Amino acid sequence: MTETPEQTLLRLRATIDNIDAALIFVLAERFRATKQVGELKADHGMPASDPSREEQQVARLRRLAEQADLDPAFAEKWFNFVVAEVIRHHTAAADAR
Ligand SMILES: C=C(O[C@@H]1C=C(C(=O)O)C=C[C@H]1O)C(=O)O
């Protein structure tokens, strides 16, 4: 029996909801790790940001995005958005010392 368009939409949306949930958990794990990096940096007077590391990460993520058929410019934008928030946290951790 073939699906109706409404059933197809519901099925696809269930997949989207699962993926969104997975992204939230993955992001939470990433921030759990970067929080520890922020505390380490604050404890040892290290700078909040590391532009050369970020450059390497962007190059790697752009390559991965191309392989995955994802727009590399979008991957870079997403990374920069996340890193800006991480650096905000690191700066706040250093200021709190
Ligand atoms: C997490 C770090 O701090 C900053 C945040 C990064 C990130 O979120 O990937 C990368 C480099 C740094 O600007 C780090 O230095 O590794």
CA distance readout (Å), 21 to 18, 24, 27, 39, 64: 5, 5, 10, 27, 22
- 1-60 residue pLDDT tens: 799 999 999 999 999 999 999 999 999 999 999 999 999 999 999 999 999 999 999 999
Q: What pLDDT was estimated at residue 41?
A: 96
Pairs from 19-28 (Cβ < 8 Å, separation ≥ 24): 27/82
39 lines ligand 1 (CB under 6 A): no
Tell which atom from ligand 1 comes closest to the C-alpha of 53.
Answer: 11
Counted domains in the chain: 1
Q: Are 85 and 94 in contact (CB under 8 A)?
A: no
Interacting residues of 33 by C-beta distance below 8 A, sequence separation 6+ = none
Q: What pLDDT was estimated at residue 28?
A: 98
Mean pLDDT on 54-67: 98
In this structure, what token pair is assigned to residue 49? 């940001």
- What are the helix (H) ranges across 2-71? 5-43, 51-67
Residue nearest to atom 8 of ligand 1 (CA): 83
79 falls in which pLDDT band (50, 70, 90)?
Answer: very high
Q: What pLDDT was estimated at residue 1?
A: 73
61 lines ligand 1 (CB under 6 A): no
Q: Tell me the CATH number at 10.
A: 1.20.59.10
Q: Which domain holds residue 66?
A: 5-95
First to last CA, the chain: 64
